[in-house]
Amino acid sequence: MDFLNKSVAQLRDLFQSMTPGARLTTGLLLVVVVISLAYLVVEHRAGSEAYLFGGASFSAGELQAMERAFGEAGLGGYVLEGGRVRVPRGQRHQYLAALAEHRALPYNFGLYMQKAMEAGGLIRSGEERREAIEFATEQELSQIIGKMSGLEWAAVFYNSKTTPGLRPRAVATASVTVKPVGSEPLDPELVSGIRRMVAASFADLEEKDVTVIDHRTGHASTGNPDDPATPADDRYIATQRYHEQHLEADIRALLAHIAGLRVQATVVLDNQWIQRQEKIEHNPKPIPIQTVETESTRTVDQSAVGGRVGAVAQANSSASLPPTASAGPTEEETKSETQTINALSSTRTSVESRGLQVKRASVALLVPSSYLEQIWRQRQPSDPNAPGGGQPAEPDPAQLSQIESQEIAKIRAAVAAILPDSQGVEDKSQLVSVTVYQDIKPEPIPEPGMVAKATGWLARHWTTAALVALVGASLLFLRGMLRAGGTAVSLPVPAPPAPEVEDGETEVEAEANRHLGRFQSSGASLQEELADLVNEDPDAAANILRAWIGTPT
């Protein structure tokens, strides 16, 4: 704390000893130094440049519109980096204003549909409203598809009509024109996804009626599998390519530790789309399915019925005589019948299987020779006495050949484990071909020299360098001002006459008083005057100090 108080006191004395102009200049320099240091700290933390819209990535069409807006506004300090726009931090508001003025702001999904619903009010007819919604849907789909990975832009067109006649039918078609990034062809899976998305966006549109066109090559991909426009639309080729791509991806993931590995898979499919099988087997032993039993009973009575025998019965008399029955034999007959219906037993088996299944899958692998050399170097023991870091510079061909045989066997076994079953092949490792190729290492790119690095650094941070230079110059100038302020200009003062020696005063005291009078009349600082006196007359300086110390207060 005492050190701080002394430093403040010294600075206060220095400031008070300055002229008014020097004080003003010193204060202004202090303000410049403080502001410059604060700016450097803020600039270092936040950076001199910033990305628009939080570093969002934009499509090629949006970037072109932004560049046109910046050009018309006269702004040229932006940089395009991988779909992002980097601008000077202090001018970010100017770039945003230019985008808004020239209608080049990034698109927000749903904007076209919102405008279509709000425009027109209540005076629009139903047909006009439907057409406005269809147009807005086209614009929305164009923006959404254009932002998909691998595409620069997209344009969607939709048309529908109702056929005349007794049975009118709605017919709808759509086309999607896309431009891929670079020279890569359109991914079949992306084409299929685009087709399904567009078909799902219109109620009367089917997937087979959507055509996707590659703007760069002009190839059209239809959605009708029975009439493919390109080989990629063929069901067999598309399924075959799907299995090959997934098999190659699995192998690359399995052998990801091999840098420079090349994989090519070949898949053969069953050419039947749907296969149905029905098998019926009959059993030679019949099985009764129905039994009918019939039973009937019949009784026969042979006794005779007649008049009375004798004279009384033969007499002529009007009285009627009751008939009499004569006893006879009785017969009873029972009849039983059983009827059985038999049928031959049979077993019916119906099997329906999906076609285009993998019948055979083979893989060709190319392994770089640098991978074998890397394994050889890892296996070599280090020798501190050997030149070149303790390891031989060139590998042994015999050892490389042995490592090659071992690694090829390992790779075949690993890849065969993930191959699908192939018809007629028991050992799937026979379907894996591994070849070692001599990879050519590219020459290293020369690093930029010190001049190029310094130039690039100054181009990016010239404002920081200029501020550092300004701060340094201000500090040097302030240091000079402080030194000048602490040294007052001493004017030549005529030496006072030698004082007369008073009574009781020795000559030494008179000389000390004469030098004390010099200090009181001179405009120089006490410290410098005392230093000059010590250099000129050490004895007189000692007498002055004795006089000061011995002077009563």
Whether the per-residue pLDDT at 12 is higher than 60: the answer is: yes
- Do 69 and 184 share a domain, yes or no? no
- Do 179 and 266 share a domain, yes or no? no
Q: What is the pLDDT of residues 131-189, one digit of tens each?
A: 888 888 998 898 889 888 888 889 999 998 888 877 888 889 999 999 988 777 788 78
Structural domain contains residue 72: yes
Structural domain contains residue 366: yes
Q: Concatenate the DSSP letters of all residues of 45-105 into one string.
A: HH-SEEEGGGG----HHHHHHHHHHHHHHT----EEETTEEEEEGGGHHHHHHHHHHTT-P
Structural domain contains residue 32: no
Residue count (the chain): 553
Q: Which parts of 120-212 fold into alpha helices (H)?
A: 126-146, 188-201
Structural domain contains residue 290: no
Tell me what the pLDDT averaged over the chain comes to.
76
Provide the domain count of the chain. Answer: 3
Mark which of 178, 194, 226 sits at the end of a domain: 226
Q: What is the pLDDT of residues 201-211, one digit of tens each?
A: 998 898 888 99
Q: What CATH number is given to the structural domain containing 202?
A: 3.30.300.30
pLDDT band at 407 (very low <50, low <70, confident <90, very high): very high
- Do 101 and 238 share a domain, yes or no? no
Whether the per-residue pLDDT at 251 is higher than 90: the answer is: yes
Structural domain contains residue 540: no
What pLDDT is stored for residue 244 in this prediction?
Answer: 92
Structural domain contains residue 175: yes
Tokens of 255: 């052998």
Q: Give percent of the chain with pLDDT exceeding 90.
A: 14
pLDDT band at 263 (very low <50, low <70, confident <90, very high): very high
Mark which of 119, 139, 163 sits at the end of a domain: 119
- Do 70 and 114 share a domain, yes or no? yes
- Do 222 and 175 share a domain, yes or no? yes
- Do 108 and 155 share a domain, yes or no? no
Locate tokens 């970037």: which residue? Answer: 63
Instruction: Report CA torsion sign: 145, 147, 151, 156.
Output: positive
Domain extent for 105: 49-119
